[in-house]
Structure 1
Amino acid sequence: MSGALAAAVTARAQAASGDLDGARRALDDARNLAERLDGAEAADTWFGYPEQKHHVHLSQAYTLLGDTGSAYQAQEDALALTDSPSVMVRALLAVDTAACLHVDGDPSGAAEMASGVWERLPATYREGLIRSRAETLHRQLTGRPYALLGEALAS
């Protein structure tokens, strides 16, 4: 379990720092290790690494790599694993989707999606990872999309 989680976190960190080859190797490791988890190792507990969490990590890593096809697939896979994903899971995946829209050449769609997600979030969820990812997207935008997401983040 810890190896799969460590590989997924490493992939995200390497993608964020621009080490694309290292991130892809770590993604391969994360996928290979996660495929071998079972029972308590894959349980949705403090000590497990459930499949949904794995796909959320993959979504972020692929998003940071600019591999939107793989990111969208990871987002779909994560959402398909439960009838009612948590507020945090839905928000993280939606901000990743918004970042993918930006990479795919739709900054207005990206800003609209991220702003909508942000505005629907309860205040208690507007810090930490969600804020960090939304602010990262905000810094990448320009013009009206930048202003739109900035207004949402200021609310």
Structure 2
Amino acid sequence: MLAWVLARHAMVPLNYGASNAAANLAARARAVSGDAPTASAALAAAVTARALASAGDHQGALRAVADARTIAERLDGTQAADSWFGYPMQKHHVHLSQAFTLMGHTRDAYAEQEAALALTHSPSIMVRALLEMDAATCLCSDGDPTSAVDKAVDVWEKLPPAYRGGLIRTRAEALRQVLPGAAHDRLEEALATP
């Protein structure tokens, strides 16, 4: 339980730009979770990957991705359930999409986005928006800022206003900061719309 709480808690600083604090909490969660293949261990490893990728420690992030994958492959039905205490594969792919996006490993990120979307059976507005914003960021990393801003603005404009805060805004703002010229201005204008 402690590992699960620490891993979930690590997502708060992670989602709001405090990657080192997130990495420390996630590392504690991973240590507490032990060697058994549990949902908390998988989540802790995935959050560690995202936090280290965000902090620029790509080698550490890749090790954490490998750890998350190894654990996720070994989860039983209860541990992999789509429940509050489970770690379903759809969420696994969402976490890895973000880690690879942050590292600029776009081919891996696109593959994780496709895998997550294939497992997303409900409308899941936020999950789909986050994956699309990751894809927009990957397009920018691949040198196509026009397609990146087209995708980001499309995602933003389709979101109901109630969903335009928090994590999706954080990711959109991060993309805006790296977009050049007119693409930057266009996304900035879209983000100003409530």
Task: Judge same fold: TM > 0.5, yes or no.
Answer: yes
Structure 2: how far apart are the matches of 1:40 and 1:133?
A: 32
Q: Secondary structure at the match of 2:75?
A: coil
Q: Alignment partner for residue 123 of structure 1, among 161, 167, 176?
A: 161
Extract unaligned runs of 5+ from structure 1.
Answer: none
Query: Looking at both structures, which has the greater relative contact order when contacts are Cα pairs under 8 Å and sequence separation is at least 6?
Result: 1
Structure 2: how far apart are the matches of 1:58 and 1:85?
A: 21
Normalising by structure 1, report the TM-score: 0.97
Structure 1: how far apart are the matches of 2:191 and 2:54?
A: 22
| Aligned residues with identical type, % of pairs | 64
- Change in Cα spacing, 1:31 to 1:85, as seen in structure 2 (3 Å) is farther
**2:145 is equivalent to residue 107 of structure 1:** yes
Displacement, 1:105?
A: 0.5
Q: Secondary structure at the match of 1:43?
A: coil
Normalising by structure 2, report the TM-score: 0.78
Displacement, 1:85?
A: 4.5
After the TM superposition, list the runs of 4 or more consecutive aligned residues in structure 1 that deviate by more than 2 angstroms: 82-85
Q: Secondary structure at the match of 1:40?
A: coil
The number of aligned residues is 155
List per-residue Cα deviations over 1:122-147 (Å, max 9, x = no partner).
11111111111110000111211001
List per-residue Cα deviations over 1:71-90 (Å, max 9, x = no partner).
00000000111334410110
Map of 1:58 onto structure 2? 96
Does the 8 Å contact 1:8/1:27 carry over to 2? yes
Does the 8 Å contact 1:111/1:148 carry over to 2? yes
- Change in Cα spacing, 1:116 to 1:133, as seen in structure 2 (3 Å) is same
Say what the alpha-carbon RMSD is for the aligned residues. 0.8
Q: Secondary structure at the match of 1:41?
A: coil
List per-residue Cα deviations over 1:90-133 (Å, max 9, x = no partner).
00000000000000000111011001100100111111111111
**2:96 partner letter:** L
Structure 2: how far apart are the matches of 1:33 and 1:40?
A: 14
